[in-house]
Each structure stands twice: as C-alpha cells, then as structure tokens.
C-alpha cells in the first residue's frame, strides 16, 4: 500500500477498530474470565505475528536492549493497561467511569510529552484536547452512575497512566524495529506479566462457545494485530499527543456500534458529544 495512502487511512481505521474492543469486552463476560481471555489473546497474537514476521524475512533485534525496550512497552501498553481496565470493570467499576478515566490520557500525555519527549504542545492542540475531552464526557454522561469502588477506580487510573507512559516509551525506543517483530515482543511482555496475576486471581475459565471464539478471533486479528499495528505506525509517524487525541473519537464510535448491534439508545446529549469530540480531534490534529 502507498505510504501516503496508509498515513491517510490509518487514523480513522485505528479509531473504528479500537472501538470494537468495547464490543468484545461486552461479549466475553458470560463465557470467560477477563485475564484468562487476555492471556490467550496475547499468546495467539504472538504465534500469528511471529509466523508472519518469519515468513516475511523480518529482522529480529540482536541486542538485549531492544528486547528489553519491547518487553517494557508490552507490559505498559497491553499488560497493565488492558489487564487493569478489565480487572476494574470486573470488580465493580462502571464501564462509563472506566472509559472516562481512560479519556484523561490525552491530557496527561500533553503534560508529559514536553519534558519526556521534547514535543511542543501548541495552544491550538491544547484547545483540541479540552474540546475532545468535553465531547467524550458528554457521550459517556448517560452511562455514569452507581457506586464507585475506590480500589477499582485506583486501578483504572493506574491503567490510564500505564498506556500513557507506554505510548511515550514506544515513541522513544521503538522507532528502529520492524513493526511485526516489535508487536511480537510486546505481546510476550504482556503475556509474561498477565500470567502470574491470572493464576493467582482466576480459575482459567473459558467456555468455547461460538460467541467467545468469534470474539477471540477478532480480538487477535482485528485488535491485537490490526489496531495495535496501526497504533505503532501512528506513533512512529507523528507526535504522541496527536495520536492520543484520536482516542476521544473512540467513545462516540463505540456508542454508535452499541446502538447498531445491541439496540442501545442514543440521547441528544450523546449526539452533541460526538460532534464535540470530532471537533476537538480536528482542532488538535492541526496543532
């Protein structure tokens, strides 16, 4: 695919595919424990991507430093982030609150990108970040409510910081590796950190029903390979603040998917929030 065409298609494709993760998270609870599902997802992603990388003649890192950097990125971007969000929701944190906490990532990334990466965050980009957060909050507003367990809320914040630092770490260290190889190493790190927690807290339950198998296949091929590949490409091509701001479009797209698939209602305030989030991303992308 032409590089310019891929660069143009990557942001909307990433948002749409990433948003399907919320649909997968809604499908799996009756059939599998969350960390067990994530561990199997990571292992299958390693097998598929390693086969693709070997068949394509990709170069593997020769230094321990490159392996270490990739493993750390995997622990932060996947292991602690996804594991933390899944654990928090399983332990009583409303999904809307979890999504709202995750929506703080562009704000935190904007604060850290200067001192850690030397990126200049312009006033226009800060305005876009603020507008986007307002829009995402409006989309999630009708889903908020209920008790908020402090421990689960704390874990959700830790997960948000994890993906924030993971994105920055990937930007600083992952520029030279083949994207397929980089993803393999990351999923090895994610699997390594998830396995002991899974063994300590879960029974390893997975009911191999067609809904679960379908969700697992999409989680591996669509999310672990498609969405993460696009994320790594976007991080390599642009500023991490701009990439993080794209996540503001995920709640609106996920809400539209839930409306189409599960028949969830959309209120006027949510529709206004979708427009606001889109405006925020448009403003920030020109910053």
Q: How far apart are the C-alpha atoms of 114 and 101, rounded to whole Å? A: 22
Residue length of the chain: 287
Cβ atoms of residues 124 and 287 within 8 Å: yes
Instruction: Quote the tokens at residue 200.
Output: 């300590």
Whose tokens are 């993080």? That residue is 244
pTM: 0.84
- Residue 174's pLDDT is what? 66
Mean pLDDT in each 10-residue stretch from start to end of the chain (287 residues)?
Answer: 66 86 81 94 95 91 90 94 85 73 78 72 79 80 72 88 90 79 94 95 91 93 89 76 75 80 77 82 70
Q: How far apart are the C-alpha atoms of 180 and 19, rounded to whole Å? A: 22
Q: How far apart are the C-alpha atoms of 112 and 41, rounded to whole Å? A: 31
- Residue 104's pLDDT is what? 78
Query: In sequence order, which ranges of the chain are alpha helices (DSSP H)?
Result: 3-27, 34-55, 64-74, 81-90, 95-102, 105-117, 123-140, 150-173, 179-201, 210-218, 228-237, 240-245, 250-262, 268-285
- Residue 143's pLDDT is what? 67
- Angle, CA of 17, 22 and 28, to the nearest 5°: 115
SS (H, E, C) 125-143: HHHHHHHHHHHHHHHHHHH
- Residue 206's pLDDT is what? 93
């Amino acid at each position: 695919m032409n590089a310019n065409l891929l660069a143009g298609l990557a942001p909307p494709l990433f948002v749409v595919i990433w948003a399907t993760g919320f649909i997968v998270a809604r499908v799996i609870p009756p059939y599998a424990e969350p960390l067990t599902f994530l561990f199997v997802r990571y292992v299958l992603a390693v097998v598929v991507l390693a086969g693709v990388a070997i068949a394509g003649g990709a170069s593997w890192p020769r230094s321990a430093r490159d392996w270490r950097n990739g493993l750390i990125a995997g622990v932060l971007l996947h292991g602690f982030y996804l594991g933390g969000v899944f654990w928090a929701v399983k332990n009583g944190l409303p999904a809307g609150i979890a999504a709202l906490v995750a929506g703080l990532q562009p704000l935190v990334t904007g604060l850290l990108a200067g001192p850690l990466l030397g990126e200049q965050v312009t006033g226009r980009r800060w305005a876009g970040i603020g507008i986007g957060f307002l829009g995402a909050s409006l989309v999630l507003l009708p889903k908020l409510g209920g008790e908020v367990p402090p421990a689960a809320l704390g874990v959700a914040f830790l997960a948000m910081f994890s993906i924030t630092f993971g994105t920055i770490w990937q930007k600083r260290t992952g520029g030279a590796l083949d994207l397929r190889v980089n993803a393999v190493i990351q999923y090895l790190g994610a699997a390594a950190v998830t396995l002991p927690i899974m063994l300590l807290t879960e029974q390893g339950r997975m009911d191999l029903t067609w809904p679960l198998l379908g969700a697992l296949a999409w989680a591996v091929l669509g999310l672990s390979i498609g969405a993460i590949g696009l994320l790594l490409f976007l991080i390599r091509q642009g500023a991490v603040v701009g990439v993080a701001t794209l996540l503001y479009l995920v709640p609106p797209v996920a809400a539209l998917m839930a409306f189409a698939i599960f028949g969830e209602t959309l209120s006027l305030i949510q529709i206004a929030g979708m427009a606001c989030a889109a405006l925020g991303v448009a403003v920030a992308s020109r910053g």
